[in-house]
Structure 1
Amino acid sequence: MKFVFASYITIPDFNEPEAWLHRIRAYAGIHAALSREHEVVCVEQINYEGVHMKNGAQYHFLRLPSAQKFFPKQLHRFIKEQLPDVVVIHSLYYPLQVMQLRRYLGDKVKIIIQHHAEQPYTGLKKYLQRRADNAVDAYLFASREMGLDWIRRGNLGNPDKINEVMELSSVFYPIDKTAALTRTKAGGAPVYLWVGRLNDNKDPLNVVRAFLQFAAHQPAAKLYMIYHTTELLGEIQQLLHNHPQQHAIVLTGQVPHDALLYWYNSADYIISGSYYEGSGTAICEAMSCGCIPIVTNIPSFRMMTDHGRCGFLYEAGNEEALLQVLQQTISLDSAAKKQLCLDFFRTHLSFQAIARRMQEIAGGLVK
């Protein structure tokens, strides 16, 4: 089969293809895995024009007129010229463009749309999403449960089109823990990790409160918090100020993405407090290194942990529930749980697993 991946988003800040491909490597690995058995063309819109080959996939960089944002004739013409069997469009936020794409491609080419954390539209845009549903053959959601919510809300019409496929994967891998600790200098027994923004949706305040309670009974435990936005940092610092267990939480701040390899391999557990996630990049990366997830009981995390088999689930915003889970980790057979994480990552969350699932879905459409 011939796959064409495209989106309607332009990123003018990038003008080097290698820099862009490094930026999207959590997705590009899927293209590489698919290209082992299929032809893969990816259409990218940055401040560069040209063709670039990377790990078996062709990347076509186009500069398109901003005036064609809503009526992207040149993009659709280019996609059609590739003679694809399957077109994968990123994001459900472009129903008007998808309806036009269907008219360009005709009925034979299959159109798949991949969800990337978008929330269902309301009003006129909801109507357009429902109309565009007639032009789409399949949808990819990190959790089927999330896709069915779009059905319940009336934005999409056919539950048979909803498929469960992880959105992205991880470029990280297990390394020797002692070597990792040499780089991070993390200390603690166990070591817990936070990686994410400090915003209301991620709810770091609940995590900090629960961990401070936990540390009162487990003084050797340490939580390292890595973040690249600081919305609630002041409130976190207030919680820690003069608290008897303040030294149990280390505000590490921002680190280079490549350095996360050592942090994920230093930690025993990763904690999330999110109320909503389209998938969960940091959790996926952590699991690829065998770091056990302690995450909220939301659809994407239920899928990623195999309904808690590979980690722990707790109610979002519930301090007591998180505290109980933290207490369970002390008596856990962590080696066995770590192996469950690694096995599930390999079979469901890895680049190869995602490509295999996309191949199965596309193969069922192209007959």
Structure 2
Amino acid sequence: MVPSARAEATSKLHVVYLNYWYEPEMTSLDDLLKTYVTMARWVQALRTEGAEVTVFQRFHRNATIERGGVEFVLHEDRQDPRLRKWQRPGSFHRQVQQRSAAISSQGTLAVVHFNGLHFPLQLRALRAGLPKGSAIAVQHHAERPARGLRGRLQQWGLGAADGFLFAASELASAWVVDGMIRTHQPVYQVMEGSTDFRRQDRTSARARTGIRGDPILLWVGRLIALKDPLAVLRGFEAILHQRPGARLYMVYGSEALLPEVRACIAQTRLLSGSVTLLGPRPHAELESIYNSADYFVLGSHYEGSGYALTEALACGVVPVVTDIASFRALTDGGRIGACWRPGDSAAFAAAFHRASSESHQIHAERAVKFFEEHLSFTAIARKAITAYRDLAMKRAGLTP
């Protein structure tokens, strides 16, 4: 290939986005896109930023549909809708492999986006039939390394990847220590999803939601031990001694700890008069709820990323969240708002007082700016394209 033709070919990038799961009740592509909003917005952002994109989706019928410049290939097979870890969808893989071969034959850089680190058999089977020049980028979705025989199988399977996308590079450390990710496999920090929520006028939002307080704290997350709502409630009680006008509103889906949460609130007059359990809310209502709040709080001990925190940042809600890897990445190393030690209610109260003693306006503007530059769909698409291109050029034997 002459230099000019070579440069033209390597400037083109085609992402083959692979998705194994679908819900049995889905009947159309519209159902898929409404349910898998993150996937839909991710691939559209990639297309907007200049990459060619083909989505291969297992489904209960065959169809090829174009939406917004993105090609969706629905593939019917006999495997379970929620693919089990030992099932290898051969016909689906062959279709992906054939398309990847056609892309590579045109001299275009090709990369397969593979979701999840818990499908080692499928990853190896896919790699075996891909053309040598097609790279595989595996995206982390909160999984943790397996142990024992499963761990060894996982290690073997992940050896087929060219590189990995993690919402926070720190989250890859356990995988590196366990030998699941080798030194020749680069890790790229790319948030796994984003939001279309944006900052709105606080007075208007509060008029819509009826949310009041000085200041207003917001929890959006499941009531489970991993997110530790009880630590937040105990810390909030301490906050009320100095900020009696503060109010905490809690939005949640899973109610595993709801009895304990209610009991904790009922134990003191301070909490019972200052905490409102909003319960589940339609996602469309959350934008106004976020924009009614001053501070966003969570007590998570572990997260694979942080969708609710991302939504809060987009709306200019100042975070007071736990000091864990994913939240450090999402708060610019804790420079936006404040971080606190998981499980330590006193540390939560101290972090809140630290954050609230500084200019709320400055932190809110910093949150929105960081979101736009690093966490919006446009920003993560650009980061992903950089990673894809790097991996594809290395796989093709070219210098990035």
Confirm or deny a common fold (TM above 0.5): yes
1:125 paired to 2:150: yes
On the 8 A contact 2:162/2:185 being kept in 1, the answer is no
Amino acid at match of 2:294: D
- TM-aligned CA distance change 1:53 to 1:90, over 3 Å: same
On the 8 A contact 1:130/1:157 being kept in 2, the answer is no
SS class of match (2:320): strand
Tell me the alpha carbon deviations over residues 79-126 of structure 1, each in whole angstroms, 9 at most, x when there is no partner: 122235110010000011111111110321000100000111111221
Distance across 2 between alignment mates of 1:156 and 1:128: 13
- Identity across the alignment (%): 34
- Match for residue 194 of structure 2? 169
Amino acid at match of 2:24: P
Q: 2:327 aligns with which of 301, 309, 314?
A: 301
- Match for residue 107 of structure 1? 132
1:58 paired to 2:71: yes
**Cα drift, residue 47 of structure 1:** 4.3
On the 8 A contact 2:58/2:92 being kept in 1, the answer is no
Distance across 1 between alignment mates of 2:296 and 2:59: 34
Distance across 2 between alignment mates of 1:188 and 1:94: 47
- Match for residue 134 of structure 1? 159
Distance across 2 between alignment mates of 1:48 and 1:316: 46
* Number of aligned residue pairs: 367
- Match for residue 174 of structure 2? 149
Q: 2:203 aligns with which of 178, 189, 214?
A: 178
1:23 paired to 2:40: no
TM-score (norm 2): 0.88
Amino acid at match of 1:6: L
Distance across 1 between alignment mates of 2:291 and 2:66: 32
Distance across 2 between alignment mates of 1:13 and 1:130: 34
On the 8 A contact 2:64/2:73 being kept in 1, the answer is yes
- TM-aligned CA distance change 1:19 to 1:8, over 3 Å: closer
Distance across 1 between alignment mates of 2:265 and 2:15: 51
SS class of match (2:164): strand
Greater radius of gyration (CA)? 2
1:316 paired to 2:333: no
**Cα drift, residue 30 of structure 1:** 1.8
Please, which runs of 5 or more residues in structure 2 have no aligned partner? 1-12, 104-109, 394-400
**Cα drift, residue 272 of structure 1:** 0.8
Distance across 2 between alignment mates of 1:124 and 1:106: 30
SS class of match (1:189): coil
On the 8 A contact 1:27/1:169 being kept in 2, the answer is no
Q: 1:90 aligns with which of 105, 115, 121?
A: 115
Amino acid at match of 2:159: N
C-alpha RMSD of the superposition: 1.6
Distance across 2 between alignment mates of 1:34 and 1:278: 22
On the 8 A contact 2:20/2:57 being kept in 1, the answer is no
SS class of match (2:205): helix
Q: 1:217 aligns with which of 239, 242, 247?
A: 242
Distance across 1 between alignment mates of 2:64 and 2:214: 50
Amino acid at match of 1:340: R
**Cα drift, residue 189 of structure 1:** 1.1
On the 8 A contact 1:348/1:354 being kept in 2, the answer is yes
On the 8 A contact 1:7/1:91 being kept in 2, the answer is no
- Match for residue 212 of structure 2? 187
1:8 paired to 2:30: no
Amino acid at match of 2:118: Y
SS class of match (1:252): strand
- TM-aligned CA distance change 1:31 to 1:253, over 3 Å: same
- TM-aligned CA distance change 1:121 to 1:212, over 3 Å: same
Distance across 2 between alignment mates of 1:295 and 1:48: 44
On the 8 A contact 1:13/1:46 being kept in 2, the answer is no
**Cα drift, residue 247 of structure 1:** 1.3
Query: Which of 3-12 and 357-366 deviates more?
Result: 3-12
Tell me the alpha carbon deviations over residues 274-303 of structure 1, each in whole angstroms, 9 at most, x when there is no partner: 011000010011111111111111110110
Tell me the alpha carbon deviations over residues 251-283 of structure 1, each in whole angstroms, 9 at most, x when there is no partner: 110110110010111111110100110000100
Amino acid at match of 1:74: S
Mapping for residues 40-51 of structure 1, pairs under 5 Å: 40-51=53-64
On the 8 A contact 1:17/1:48 being kept in 2, the answer is no
Amino acid at match of 1:237: R
Amino acid at match of 2:90: K
Distance across 2 between alignment mates of 1:326 and 1:159: 42
TM-score (norm 1): 0.96
1:345 paired to 2:371: yes
Distance across 1 between alignment mates of 2:303 and 2:222: 12
Query: Which of 160-169 and 88-97 deviates more?
Result: 160-169
